[in-house]
Amino acid sequence: MNTSTAAGFGDRFVLTLITDDPALARSGVMAGIDRIGLDLEIIGKNERQGGMGTRISAHDIDRLPLIRETIGDHPLFVRVNPIHEQSPEEVERVIGGGATHVMLPYFHRPDEARRFADLVAGRATTVLLVETAAALYFIEELVCLPGIDEIHVGLTDLKLSMKIRSRFETLTSWMLERASEIVHAVGLPLHVGGVARIDDASLPIPSDLLNAQYPRLGATGALVSRSFTSPVPTAQALTESVRRFRESMNHWGAAGPEEWELQRRALKQFVVDAAAEGRSLP
């Protein structure tokens, strides 16, 4: 899909760690994680994802100054709530608290994204979390909106919205390939889902099958999954996990289109086989 990737893909890959723990935030900076910050999204999320074992945050906006102080001038990420009545106040508070990257989750139409961009008004990098079927449908309009800086495809809610078997199935779909082409055509960065430690034995799918999809799609960033941080690691352990992940992504970035396609087919078959065997994948 994207042949511009090569050696160093993993070194440039943008990792975002969501935490309100100052010690973990400090370790994240030391480990070379690119963005650190809070997840404030609560509106509607428990109703959609409750019981799925996904990340449902209880972060408090009042901890934002503490995280900003802890990480110094390091990029500070905040996922706000979907557009609602208090959105103007919420956006003002996160930008006033030093946020450099602000993400809008769970929207459906371009007018919501346009409202978000207007509220941020160029004071931070705006990230659209495309995680509904409607948002994916409007991707051509979204990438052309003034004030939108980055697209992040969220796999969990997209799975629910599209009623498919597994969020990993989305990674192999023509829809995500087409969305990738559209995003790259206008020069915006594309991030996708979350990534796990490469040595995490609890993963439902081998990490190599997943990591190979990022350079294939030209996706240059992701959230850091809880496998990196649960239980809370030492700074040294987190640094080693990040190093090994980047090495893996360097390998896949240099692998080339032929090998990427083999891994896409292998991932697709893995999901099909799991369904045939009655195994549930997230």
pLDDT tens readout for residues 201-224: 778 888 889 999 999 999 999 999
The second-level CATH assignment, the architecture, of 9-276 is: Alpha-Beta Barrel (3.20)
Q: 147, 145, 137, 150: which is closest to 179 by C-alpha?
A: 137
pLDDT at 278: 85
3-state SS class at 128: strand
Distance separating alpha carbons of residues 151 and 100, to the nearest angstrom: 16
Distance separating alpha carbons of residues 240 and 199, to the nearest angstrom: 11
3-state SS class at 36: strand
Phi, psi values for residue 187, rounded to 5°: 85, 20
Domain locations along the chain: 9-276
**pTM greater than 0.85:** yes
Per-residue DSSP letter, 62: G
Q: What is the pLDDT along the chain (282 residues), one digit of tens a residue?
A: 454 556 799 999 999 999 999 999 999 999 999 999 999 999 876 665 554 455 567 799 999 999 999 999 999 999 999 999 999 999 999 999 999 999 999 999 999 999 999 999 999 999 999 999 999 999 999 999 999 999 999 998 898 888 887 888 888 889 999 999 999 999 999 999 999 998 887 788 888 899 999 999 999 999 999 889 888 889 999 999 999 999 999 999 999 999 999 999 999 999 889 888 988 777
pLDDT tens digits along 155-182: 988 988 888 878 888 888 899 999 999 9
